[in-house]
Amino acid sequence: MQDDPLLRRARELKAELVDFRRDLHQHPELSFAEQRTAGKGRAWLEGLGLAVRGEIAGTHGVLATLDSGRPGPSLIVRADMDALPITEATGRPYASQNAGVMHACGHDVHTTCLMGAARLLSEQREQLRGRVLFVMQPAEESPPGGAKVLVEQGGILEDVDAALALHVHPGISVGRMGFRSGVMLAYSDRFEIRIKGVGGHAARPHQAVDPVAVAVQVYQALQYLVSRENNPLHPFVITVGALQAGTAPNVIPGEAMLLGTTRALDPKVSEALPARIEQLVAGVCQSMRAEYDYEYVAGYPALVNDEGFTEAAIASVRGMLGEDAIHRIPNPEMGGEDFAYFTQRVPGMMFRLGVGNEARGIVHSVHSPRFDVDEDAIPLGAAALARIALDYVTGAK
């Protein structure tokens, strides 16, 4: 392991980067409402002397370009910046000040690492070739997502050769980074099923059509699809995250709502699910005298990491941090990620930034109200993005 100048400089910047992250964490913003976050990032990037575009495709997206003026490839480095509608329960002094909104998925860290990488590479302009672009992307948490808008309407991948991103992972210890080539994350879609029954008195169910009972049958039938109709070698998951019905204990409601997600690794499985789910819902409702409304919303495609770019990134991080920092992710995960819209267009790679620290109680999953990160990971993430980018545009082996 060498004394990497990018890593050394990133560690010198740690206090400034942590302050930046904590400010973002205290002021989280929901999808497509990231105005303050975008403004703070834009000011940082403009302060580096970069050419900056804002309000991309009618969103708060920001794109900054570091052009070396020398021939070479173009690499885009992406960070998502939206938060989640979660009430924070960490008790940290830098906890969210926006009621009911929290950076529970680490996008504040992603944005901070992007700012750090932009600073590091701006200070290495003389070594660069080609271009490095830095994008602050809105609305990763709200399918069909901000990436789709920026790619299809904002043209951010024009003349771009490759794309790079990171994502925090509390299941990986700080100081380590997770890599996987090929399929890394699943197709991720959402559905809404409204069961329409006939309301009535709780004492006279025979005079009603109980939508709660129908919804329970639908839920059980959905799990039958997973356990008995699907090839277990091509896994998928159906999760009902909300079942909403009624307001009183002695009233049979008129409607019940099921909200859920589907996740699959096989494109054929993903394509077949919408019609099969509706067929199942229709059959249950017909047998129990209920009606239904059904909406299936396509979310994100599977995230596929380019093998060559992934192996090159591993070599870059290994040279900076040593072999012990490399964690090979053995299997795909069923989460979804709209960075997949980047990797559909150009060779791309997302890696996992370890932020967990069991000794400090930093073990809670993303999307938990108790989620937090070991901030020692922030300079490591910034340095890793910068080192991978620098090696890519210069063709270093």
Contacts (Cβ under 8 Å, ≥6 apart) of 350: 164, 165, 166, 167, 184, 303, 305, 337, 339, 343
How many other C-beta atoms can be found within 10 angstroms of the C-beta atom of residue 159?
A: 9
CB 29 within 8 A of CB 83: yes
Indicate the pairing of strand 177-179 with strand 326-328. parallel
| Chain centroid, CA 54 distance in Å | 21
Report, in angstroms and rounded to the nearest whole number, the Rg of the chain calculated over CA atoms. Answer: 23
Catalytic residue chosen out of the listed positions 34, 80, 140, 141: 140
Q: Which of 193, 302, 185 is nearest to 241 (CA)?
A: 193
DSSP-assigned letter for residue 123: T
Q: Of the candidates 54, 69, 50, which has an alpha carbon nearest to the alpha carbon of residue 121? A: 50
82 within 8 A of 30, measured Cβ to Cβ: yes
Q: Per the structure block, which two tokens stand in for 12?
A: 């010198």
Query: Which of 169, 193, 125 is closest to 350 using CA atoms?
Result: 169
DSSP 27-68: S---TT--HHHHHHHHHHHHHTT-EEEEEETTTTEEEEEEE-
Query: Cβ-count burial of 265 within 10 angstroms (0-12 exposed, 13-18 middle, 19+ buried)?
Result: buried
Provide the 8-state DSSP code for 340.
H
CA atoms within 13 A on the CB side of 30: 10
- The structure tokens listed for 178 are 């997770």
The number of residues in the chain equals: 397
Do residues 189 and 297 lie in contact, with contact meaning Cβ atoms separated by under 8 Å?
yes
Active site residue 34: no
Q: Is 391 a catalytic residue?
A: no
Tell me which of 34, 82, 88, 210 is the catalytic residue: 82
> Residue by residue, what is the 3-state secondary structure of 223-237?
HHHHHHHCCCCCCEE
Residues forming the active site: 82, 140
